[in-house]
Structure 1
Amino acid sequence: MSFDGVWPYIYIAIAGWLATDLWRWAGVLVGNRIDENSEVLNWVRAVATALVAAVIAKLIFFPTGTLETSPLWLRLGAVLFGALCFFAGGRFRQILGIAAAIAFLAAGLAITGA
């Protein structure tokens, strides 16, 4: 089989789908049997929250790529502004918080020339 043209991308898409979809279905089947207030689910939520917090902290304090050129105060300010907009956002909390943080960061980068 020749892997020229579009075939490598099709292969990656199918292999990626198979590898992740199996676990998604397993989660659906097992998740239906877990009590929403169980200790197992509380632990899963805590681990998921900790992972998200760790990724955000890494992006703020040890950024790579274009974000690396921005000053620390600007990254912290974008997170704070995004959080404030999130809590004030009402029905569109997540979208508003993310958009506000990105806009703050973009405006700060444009102003500072970083």
Structure 2
Amino acid sequence: MSFDGFWPYIYIAVAGWLATDFWRWAGVLAGNRIDERSELLNWVRAVATALVAAVIAKMIFFPTGTLETSPLWLRLGAVVFGALCFFFGGRFRQILGIAAAMAFLAAGLAVFGAS
């Protein structure tokens, strides 16, 4: 079988869909039966929050790629600025916090340049 043109991308899309679709449907079916105040769901939320925090910390303290060219103080400043915008953002707090942190980082790189 030859993998020329778009066939590798189609193969990856189908294989990715098959590998994850079962778990999505299982989550939908199981989610309808789980009490939102259960200890199991509290544990799942805690693990998910810890994983997100770990990824963010890794991106701040051990960045790779383009983010690696920015100084640590700029990355920390972007996180603090984004958090402040999130907490005072009102209705659109999530998107505002993310956009503010990205804008802060981009402006800092434009003004101060990469280290």
Length-normalised TM-score, structure 2? 0.96
Q: How does 1:13-24 map to 2 (within 5 A)?
A: 13-24=13-24
Unmatched runs of 5 consecutive residues or more in structure 1? none
Over residues 59-84 of structure 1, what are the superposed CA-to-partner deviations in whole Å (9 max), with x where a residue is unaligned?
Answer: 00000011111111100000000001
Over residues 42-96 of structure 1, what are the superposed CA-to-partner deviations in whole Å (9 max), with x where a residue is unaligned?
Answer: 0000000000000000000000011111111100000000001011111111111
CA shift for structure 1 position 21: 1.3
Hey, what does 2:10 align to over in structure 1?
10
Unmatched runs of 5 consecutive residues or more in structure 2? none
Structure 1 runs of 4+ off > 3 angstroms?
A: none
Hey, what does 2:97 align to over in structure 1?
97
Structure-2 separation of matches of 1:14 and 1:39: 36
Structure-1 separation of matches of 2:39 and 2:61: 32
Greater RCO between the two (CA within 8 Å, min separation 6)?
2
Length-normalised TM-score, structure 1? 0.97
The number of residues matched between the two structures is: 114
